[in-house]
Structure 1
Amino acid sequence: MNLTKEFEQPAGIALDRPLNHPGVGTTAPGTTAWGAIAALTFSIVVLLVAELLPASILTPMAEGLGISQGLAGQTLTVTAIAAIFSSLLLTRVARGIDRRQVILGFMVLMVASNLLVALAPNFTLLLFGRLLLGLALGGLWAIATSVTMRLAPEPMVPRALSVVFGGISVAMVIAAPLGSYFGAMVGWRGVFGATAVLSLLGGIWLYAAMPALPAEREGRGRGILAVAQRPGMKVALLAMMFVFAGQFTFFSYMRPFFEQVTGLGVAAISGVFLLFGVANFIGTVVCPPLLRVRLKATLAAGPALIGLFALILASAGYAPWIAAVMIALWGVVFGSVPVGWSTWIARNLPDDVENAGGLQVAVIQLANAAGAAWGGYLLEAGGATMPLFAAAALMLAAAFVSAVRLRTR
Structure 2
Amino acid sequence: MQRTVTKPSGDPRWPLFSLAFAFFTVGVTSLSVVGLSHWISQDLHILPSQTGLLVTAFALIYAVAALLVQSLYGHWPRRRLLVTGLVVLSLGLLLSAGAGSFTQLMLARAVAAVGAAMIGPVASATGSLLVPPERQGQALATVFGGFTIAAVLGAPLASVLAPSIGWRGVFLALAGVGLLAAVLVFRILPPVAAGQRVTLNTYRRGLSVKGVRSTLLVTLLQIAALFIVYAVAGSYLGGRFGSSAEWISATLLGLGLGGVIGNAVSSAAVTRFGSRPTLLFTLLASAVTVALLLVAPSLPWLGLALLFLWSAFANMFQAPQQARLIGLHPTERGLMLALNASILYLGISLGSWLGSGLLPRLGAGHLVWPALGLLVLAVLLSQRNRLGSNRHDA
Which of the two has greater helix per residue? 2
Q: Which letter maps to 1:354?
A: G
Deviation at 1:26, TM superposition (A): 3.8
Deviation at 1:114, TM superposition (A): 0.9
d(CA) in 2 for partners of 1:295, 1:99? 28
Residue 394 of structure 2 corresponds to residue 394 of structure 1: no
The answer on whether the counterparts of 1:379 and 1:387 sit within 8 Å (CA) in structure 2 is: yes
d(CA) in 1 for partners of 2:225, 2:209? 25
The answer on whether the counterparts of 1:25 and 1:153 sit within 8 Å (CA) in structure 2 is: no
The answer on whether the counterparts of 1:272 and 1:324 sit within 8 Å (CA) in structure 2 is: yes
Match of 1:314 among 282, 289, 294: 294
Q: Quick one: structure 1 residues 24 and 120, their matched pair in 2 at CA, closer, same or farther if it must change by over 3 Å?
A: same
In structure 1, the residue matched to 2:223 is: 244
In structure 2, the residue matched to 1:9 is: none
Q: Which letter maps to 1:78?
A: A
Q: Which letter maps to 2:374?
A: L
Match of 1:295 among 264, 271, 275: 275
Q: Quick one: structure 1 residues 278 and 159, their matched pair in 2 at CA, closer, same or farther if it must change by over 3 Å?
A: closer
Q: Quick one: structure 1 residues 284 and 101, their matched pair in 2 at CA, closer, same or farther if it must change by over 3 Å?
A: closer
d(CA) in 1 for partners of 2:264, 2:17? 19
In structure 2, the residue matched to 1:344 is: 324
Deviation at 1:394, TM superposition (A): 0.9
The answer on whether the counterparts of 1:174 and 1:274 sit within 8 Å (CA) in structure 2 is: yes
Higher alpha-carbon deviation: 168-177 or 189-198: 168-177
**CA shift digits 1:311-369 (9 cap, x unpaired):** 32233352223323312221221121112312321332222111101111111111111
Q: Please, which runs of 5 or more residues in structure 2 have no aligned partner? A: none
In structure 2, the residue matched to 1:332 is: 312
Higher alpha-carbon deviation: 233-242 or 340-349: 340-349
Higher alpha-carbon deviation: 53-62 or 223-232: 53-62
Deviation at 1:126, TM superposition (A): 0.4
Q: Quick one: structure 1 residues 62 and 100, their matched pair in 2 at CA, closer, same or farther if it must change by over 3 Å?
A: same
In structure 2, the residue matched to 1:78 is: 57
Q: Which letter maps to 1:271?
A: A
The answer on whether the counterparts of 1:24 and 1:153 sit within 8 Å (CA) in structure 2 is: no
d(CA) in 2 for partners of 1:161, 1:300? 19
The answer on whether the counterparts of 2:34 and 2:51 sit within 8 Å (CA) in structure 1 is: no
Match of 1:138 among 117, 134, 151: 117
Deviation at 1:252, TM superposition (A): 0.6
Q: Please, which runs of 5 or more residues in structure 1 have no aligned partner? A: 1-20
d(CA) in 2 for partners of 1:333, 1:35? 28
Residue 40 of structure 2 corresponds to residue 58 of structure 1: no
Question: How many residues are aligned here?
Answer: 386
Q: Which letter maps to 1:278?
A: L
d(CA) in 1 for partners of 2:341, 2:265? 23
Deviation at 1:400, TM superposition (A): 1.4
Q: Quick one: structure 1 residues 337 and 157, their matched pair in 2 at CA, closer, same or farther if it must change by over 3 Å?
A: closer
Kindly report the root-mean-square deviation, in angstroms, between the aligned alpha carbons of the 2 structures: 2.7
Higher alpha-carbon deviation: 111-120 or 221-230: 221-230
Q: Which letter maps to 1:194?
A: A
d(CA) in 1 for partners of 2:114, 2:358? 27
The answer on whether the counterparts of 2:90 and 2:175 sit within 8 Å (CA) in structure 1 is: yes
d(CA) in 2 for partners of 1:63, 1:366? 28
Q: Which letter maps to 2:150?
A: A
Match of 2:357 among 360, 364, 377: 377
**CA shift digits 1:174-202 (9 cap, x unpaired):** 22221222223322222111101111222
Higher alpha-carbon deviation: 380-389 or 152-161: 152-161
